[in-house]
Structure 1
């Protein structure tokens, strides 16, 4: 049994152990323009990623699955920092690692990509790509022993 993996999905309903960034908001990633871009999936069964100043909607995406009950935490970071245990959600079109990040917009958290060389977290919001220098990074804290093949 794999504890944590990116599971190919066309629907959040096909992945009952998907990791939530906030209630009803799931950690997702999708291929776009030569990269694999972390984003957000909701109950409407699409993934939204931010790229080039805009929100891009994807119908073919991956959800972060946590079948083995690994423990995640959201670690505060800023200015391109990547904490230990950060979950890599993809890579840019140039091959730079991108990490799963989030920040609050109004009353809600929106998930997106931490782009270290840009020193910000980008999220899709209202058709635009929005950035923040202060954000949280999804980090793996613990993996249960049974998930590693022992019990």
Structure 2
């Protein structure tokens, strides 16, 4: 089962699950409150922010929650065009799942929106969509 632990200003809880890598840091799977709900994103501890993709913009949040768990609990599976395996962690964001893509020398965490058939990532102030991605699943 997934375990979301609170964090702020770049802090990383013990047992945080590594989701990817940026050019300057490890990235963790995170979520932050925005407009009354949880939005999936990536935590870059060096930037001291969780970044979320929202309406075409990358938004930095100083308060967030980080997905914690063992590498034995989760596995990344390749997918595309909105398809999502059955056994995926709960994100509290309706119809959105944890995804990641390879982008400009990074492995960037994002959110899979199966209605639109893409994985959205935030990167350098922008939101970028990919039709092929990996989805985080239970092992």
- TM-score of the pair, normalised by structure 1: 0.81
Deviation, 1:71, is: 2.3
1:102 aligns with 100
Q: CA deviation at 1:115?
A: 0.8
Equivalent in the alignment of 1:76: 78
Q: What is the match of residue 123 of structure 1?
A: 121
Summarize the Cα distance change of 1:107–1:69 in structure 2 as closer, same or farther, 3 Å threshold. closer
- Aligned equivalent of 1:55, options 34, 49, 58: 58
Partner SS for 1:83 = coil
Consecutive unaligned residues in structure 2, runs of 5 or more? none
Structure 1 residue runs of 5 or longer lacking an equivalent are 142-151
Alpha-carbon contact 2:56-2:126 (below 8 Å) kept: yes
- Alpha-carbon displacement from aligned partner over 1:79-119 (angstroms, at most 9, x marks no partner): 1111122223231xxxx321110001011111011111111
Give the RMSD, CA atoms, in angstroms.
Answer: 1.7
After superposition, where does 1:1-150 map in structure 2 within 5 Å? 4-23=2-21, 24-43=26-45, 44-66=47-69, 70-91=72-93, 96-141=94-139
Deviation at 1:121, TM superposition (A): 0.5
Separation (CA, whole Å) in 2 of partners of 1:10 and 1:82: 30
Q: Deviations over 1:28-78 (max 9, x none)?
A: 011112331111001232100101011011111000011x66421111111
TM-score computed with the length of structure 2 as normaliser: 0.88
Kindly tell me the number of residue pairs found equivalent between the two proteins. Answer: 134
Max Rg structure: 1
Instruction: Judge which range, 35-44 or 112-121, deviates more.
Output: 35-44
